[in-house]
Structure 1
Amino acid sequence: MDRKEAHRRKEVPCLCSRRWILAYMCFLGMFFLYATRVNMSVAIICMVRSDNVSESFNHTRRTGDNVSWPSQAHPDHQIERDTCARQDTSTSATATTAEFDWDKPTRSRILAMYFYGYIIMQVPGGWLAGRFGGRRVWGISFFLNGLFTILTPVAARTSLALVYVLRFLVGFASGVTFPNVQSMWGRWAPPLERSKLITFSMAGPAMGTIAGFALSGHLCAYGFDNGWGSIFYVFGVGTLAWVVFWFLLTADSPRDSSRISNAELEYIETEIGYKTNVQNKFTPWRAIFTSVPVWAIVVTHVCHNWSNYTLLTGLPTFMKEVLNFDIKQNGSLSAVPYLCAAIVSIVAGQVADCLRSRVGLATATVRKIMVIAAFSTVACFLVGASFVTCEFRHVAVVLLCFAVSGTGITRAGFPVNHVDIAPRHAGVLFGITNTVATVPGMVAPLVAGALTPTKTAEEWQNVFYVCAAFSVLGSIVFTVFAKGEVQPWAREAGDKTAGDHSSTYRVIYSPRIQP
């Protein structure tokens, strides 16, 4: 490298830069997105006194009934089942806090209602972010999200119909999140930092799921307003607090930020290849809907979300019905796999960008490696966990940790691929793919409920078999049809070709932004 080229290298701040502050805020926003999404999965166990209490009690008593168990002829099996039954203390936890007599189909509809609202705002959310900027759209939507979450206990004690309406509205307000984040990263993320920034942001859902499961379980047992009511107040107020900091610390694009350094602004725009404050006035809808790489992402997204939403809505129920954890253990242990997923997500982003910048692998190759590794992990360990009996239930928790970690690897695969192939239109693109991929959120809880009418381990095996089949399908489709370069329809006149290239900038990890 000659002196002239060396002189052109600029020291660009990283850890406290404006793009990383945006990543931290996106992380926290997605944290509250998932906390307010999954809290109902735990809260509903405490809210309902229907067959949860009576059937669980009878189930415990029936462990000594010779008619109940096909394995009754074997005395060892009888002893094992009694041991599991004695470990199940969830009935005492729920009996004192339950207020409602909602049957299992009703509970499934409540869990699914979120996704009916969520799906509506996917494409509009991406379009609004591209047209008016993601900062305003996401901030207003999350204000409504927090408000509707806080109102949920009052609605539940008033009318079941109001619960349906509020869960729909929470999903509706939350639906802009992922399209907004993708749209903003299309303007903020340099290509060779794209995986790191986006996967860090997308570690937020895993951490939000941890809080949603673990904290909800403890609030259910020890919180105010009969326990379960405090779940909605805590996460609703937290969401409103995030909105305040979001408006104070973020900007729609680097050029709109009053606090960004000149070095960072020049670095981002040089690497991305266009002026970031120019809002989209035209969306190539026909080219998007006829693009094979787009449909590869759609199919892969659907396959991923089937397993993801099955776990999000069904894991606490699986922990209770098959593994016989009580409500306090249930919330905490349901959260453990998502801690693994958050860590793996961040590591996967670092590995993906390293494979691109240092090893020199093509973007498409890296994305495919990540998807195959992720989906294989999910399929194998989910099926394995389904065969573990409650006598070895902590082994099942370990296997579930590996399975959910696979969803963390996925973050460096197809989600980043939206920005790879269409950085200007990443918000709309993600809105389209996530619209289709939200269907599993509406269907998967209903399928899981239909496949587990008597709540046996064998029935839950069928639930996880379906997840494994979707994982295999997604791996095949993405491997064959995915692309990694910016598509011709996603470029405009004057755009620099951005893709697999080495940066001429040196990014430094400094606690202070360089002037």
Structure 2
Amino acid sequence: MTAKIEINSLTSNQRLLGSTRLNIAFLCFFGCAIIYSLRSNLSFAIVCMVKNEGKGNENSTNGRKIYECNNNNNGDIIIAQRHRRELLNENKISESSLNNTNFGEFNSIGGADLIIGEFDWSKQLQGQILGAFFFGYLTSQMLGGILAGRFGAKIVLFVAVLASSLISLISPAMARFHVAIFISIRALLGFTQGVIFPAMHSLLSGWAPPMERGILTGLSYAGAQVGNMLVMSLSGLLCRHGFDGGWPSIFYLFGAFGLFWCLIWFLIGADSPQTHKTIKENEREYILESLGKNKEIASPIEIKRRRPIPLYSILTSKAVWAIFIGHFAGDWGSYTMALGIPSFLNDVLGLQLTSMGIVSALPYLAYFAFINIGGHFADKLQQKGVFSTLNCRRLAMLIAFGGQALMLIAIGYCGCNQHNLVILLLILSTGISGFQYSGFVVNYMDICPELAGFVLGIGNTLSCLAGLLSPIIMGWLTPNGSKEEWLIVFYVTAFILIVGALIFSLFASAEIQEWAKEDFNYSSNKENEEEKQQKIIQNSQKLPLLENDITTELVLQQRNDWESERKEEKK
């Protein structure tokens, strides 16, 4: 028996259920739900905000839609869906701001009934309003990781969600005051939310032990899908029966939710186990030991201020670019599902928006389930030694992207009378893509735990290109909305997904990179450890050296281990 074994026995077998780290993950879960509800509420509310136009488009005859599958009994068109389709055909990028927003986003707003709004906004202006969020979001990604390192993720998340909530609360008044002001605050909303996910990644990298990263990270980010489902389920009711004209209630309700979350987060959130006030000491030791951190350091923020970020090393790392390419491919698939599938269902299959509304929440429910299932199984496979960490990440990416690619192509070959099969494939393709959270998403933490938030910010910035290009490519490839045109879209998306999975599998790593090993203050950690070991040796000299004395034997063994480590370090 050695001292090292005794130390490990004190910190191992820490149950996840009921732990502080799980509570932090749940807080992040609800935070993500709030963030996405504040992000996507406009995509529902705008249907109730604008006045409807009676004129048709090139795909209609006398106000009736011409579907490739002639199975629609009445062919009625909601003006909102027509606007969506025309914006896509005109190569507008506005809807890319709705990352992972919804399927059939106008369904819950009263089915196929026309809703008369109070604003006379053109289609082009509506596109600018919706796109304003995206352009603000693009500009602040890398800032999130930097701010989290400078001030701590807790305060960054608090300020960002608080600002987003206040913007939501004032949105109705600003929209009524002037549309330019409304566009400006939507861009500001995007800017404030751009810092959130890098900061949250930085937070989780300090809370999630390596063998629990899959489940804790997956649970945290799965809240986004709950936020989408909340908006879909409540917006229709609020639009018709809410106060202040109906649609403003959508902004007020989710803004209030955000303020409530900020209060809870301020009271019980923490940057790290070192700074949490009520965490049990054995859990704190378990987390910090698994991450290789010194529990005596008060806060990692003090460490991070002392060293510049190795930007050149980050941008020239093969492992980092493997993640970036996987990240881009995953976002391309998400944009295709969020923007393309609703139009495909309407253009080719002629599914009414009321029918789409019923199933619109199911893909997100499946996505939520697969994120958590994937994280659980990935962690179990690592813990039991079935797969290495790297092979778990590879397997998750191949399942997520390969499965989504195959099902997308299968959707394109479905016939006119196979609506149920299309819906099933749609649900499964969205759901199985959730395995990517056990792939590239947690891989940021594997290779650079101290810089995970900053590097994720770079990856998010680059993946925003998918939001710019995906709707443009879809509009260019589907001028007539025919089945053959949409099949090309699905093949292009499948190709990008497969290439992303293969490149990730070939070049990814699960080891902390050399530039990330040069910690912001590892020298301080070593000094503290040396002081600790010196005290142990001094105390050992005061102990009576009795024969067969276990305590003395342990102390002497620890001293010998420490001296051996010091010799290795000098070499």
Specify which of 38, 44, 47 is matched with residue 46 of structure 2.
44
Partner of 2:131: 112
Partner of 1:365: 391
Cα 1:149/1:382, change in 2 over 3 Å: farther
Partner of 2:440: 414
Deviation at 1:232, TM superposition (A): 2.1
TM-score by length of 1: 0.84
AA aligned to 1:396 is V
Cα 1:144/1:373, change in 2 over 3 Å: same
Aligned 8 A contact 1:316 1:331 in 2: no
Aligned 8 A contact 2:76 2:112 in 1: no
Aligned 8 A contact 2:319 2:509 in 1: yes
1:278 aligns with 2:280: no
Deviation at 1:319, TM superposition (A): 5.1
Specify which of 431, 448, 456 is matched with residue 430 of structure 1.
456
User: Mapping of 1:111-260 within 5 angstroms?
Assistant: 111-260=130-279
TM-score by length of 2: 0.77
Query: Larger deviation: 55-64 or 446-455?
Result: 55-64
| Aligned-partner SS, 2:270 | coil
Specify which of 28, 33, 44 is matched with residue 31 of structure 1.
33
| Aligned-partner SS, 2:158 | helix
**Alpha-carbon distance in 1 for matches of 2:335, 2:154:** 27
Partner of 2:545: none
Aligned 8 A contact 1:41 1:314 in 2: no
1:347 aligns with 2:373: yes
Cα 1:104/1:137, change in 2 over 3 Å: same
Query: Larger deviation: 323-332 or 18-27?
Result: 323-332
Cα 1:253/1:429, change in 2 over 3 Å: same
1:444 aligns with 2:470: yes
Deviation at 1:318, TM superposition (A): 4.9
Cα 1:135/1:463, change in 2 over 3 Å: same
| Aligned-partner SS, 1:257 | coil
Deviation at 1:455, TM superposition (A): 4.9
**Alpha-carbon distance in 1 for matches of 2:49, 2:351:** 17
User: Mapping of 1:434-513 within 5 angstroms?
Assistant: 434-491=460-517, 492=519, 493=522
**Alpha-carbon distance in 2 for matches of 1:19, 1:262:** 13
Cα 1:37/1:454, change in 2 over 3 Å: farther
Aligned 8 A contact 1:179 1:427 in 2: yes
Cα 1:57/1:248, change in 2 over 3 Å: farther
Specify which of 56, 80, 84 is matched with residue 72 of structure 2.
84
| Aligned-partner SS, 2:72 | helix
**Alpha-carbon distance in 1 for matches of 2:9, 2:174:** 63
Cα shift readout 1:353-405 (whole Å, capped 9, x = no counterpart): 11111134121111111111101122122233344466543432211111111
AA aligned to 2:424 is V
Unaligned 5+ segments in structure 1 are: 72-79, 497-515
**Alpha-carbon distance in 2 for matches of 1:43, 1:461:** 31
**Alpha-carbon distance in 2 for matches of 1:11, 1:294:** 32
CA RMSD of aligned residues (A): 3.0
Cα 1:439/1:307, change in 2 over 3 Å: same
| Aligned-partner SS, 2:403 | helix
Deviation at 1:213, TM superposition (A): 2.9
Cα 1:33/1:443, change in 2 over 3 Å: farther
**Alpha-carbon distance in 1 for matches of 2:47, 2:38:** 16
Deviation at 1:441, TM superposition (A): 2.4
Cα 1:108/1:440, change in 2 over 3 Å: farther
1:301 aligns with 2:327: yes
AA aligned to 1:127 is I
Larger Rg: 2
**Alpha-carbon distance in 2 for matches of 1:364, 1:340:** 25
**Alpha-carbon distance in 2 for matches of 1:390, 1:155:** 45
Deviation at 1:95, TM superposition (A): 2.1
Partner of 2:60: 59
Partner of 1:288: 314
Cα shift readout 1:63-104 (whole Å, capped 9, x = no counterpart): 69xxx68x8xxxxxxxx62x4142757467452334445455
**Alpha-carbon distance in 1 for matches of 2:249, 2:349:** 26
**Alpha-carbon distance in 1 for matches of 2:381, 2:372:** 15
Cα 1:208/1:147, change in 2 over 3 Å: same
AA aligned to 2:74 is R
AA aligned to 1:278 is P
Aligned 8 A contact 1:216 1:331 in 2: no
**Alpha-carbon distance in 1 for matches of 2:49, 2:117:** 4
Aligned 8 A contact 2:404 2:494 in 1: yes
**Alpha-carbon distance in 2 for matches of 1:425, 1:314:** 35
Aligned 8 A contact 2:64 2:75 in 1: no
1:398 aligns with 2:424: yes
Unaligned 5+ segments in structure 2 are: 80-110, 527-571
Deviation at 1:185, TM superposition (A): 1.4
AA aligned to 1:86 is N
**Alpha-carbon distance in 1 for matches of 2:208, 2:364:** 25
Query: Larger deviation: 246-255 or 438-447?
Result: 438-447
**Alpha-carbon distance in 1 for matches of 2:183, 2:292:** 45
Aligned 8 A contact 1:184 1:252 in 2: yes
Cα shift readout 1:196-218 (whole Å, capped 9, x = no counterpart): 11011121112222223333344
Aligned 8 A contact 1:211 1:335 in 2: no
**Alpha-carbon distance in 1 for matches of 2:39, 2:240:** 20
| Aligned-partner SS, 1:259 | coil
Deviation at 1:271, TM superposition (A): 0.4
**Alpha-carbon distance in 1 for matches of 2:414, 2:211:** 42
Partner of 1:74: none
Cα shift readout 1:425-446 (whole Å, capped 9, x = no counterpart): 1111111111111222244344
Aligned 8 A contact 2:11 2:283 in 1: no
Aligned 8 A contact 2:166 2:255 in 1: yes
**Higher relative contact order (CA closer than 8 Å, sequence separation 6+):** 1
Task: Indicate the percent of aligned positions where both proteins have the same amino acid.
Answer: 35
**Alpha-carbon distance in 1 for matches of 2:488, 2:233:** 27
Cα shift readout 1:291-328 (whole Å, capped 9, x = no counterpart): 11111111111111112133335555555555555555
| Aligned-partner SS, 1:399 | helix
Partner of 2:24: 22
**Alpha-carbon distance in 2 for matches of 1:97, 1:392:** 34
Aligned 8 A contact 1:156 1:162 in 2: yes
Cα shift readout 1:93-122 (whole Å, capped 9, x = no counterpart): 452334445455444443332221112111
Partner of 2:558: none
| Aligned-partner SS, 1:131 | helix
| Aligned-partner SS, 1:202 | helix
**Alpha-carbon distance in 1 for matches of 2:237, 2:353:** 8
Aligned 8 A contact 1:421 1:486 in 2: yes
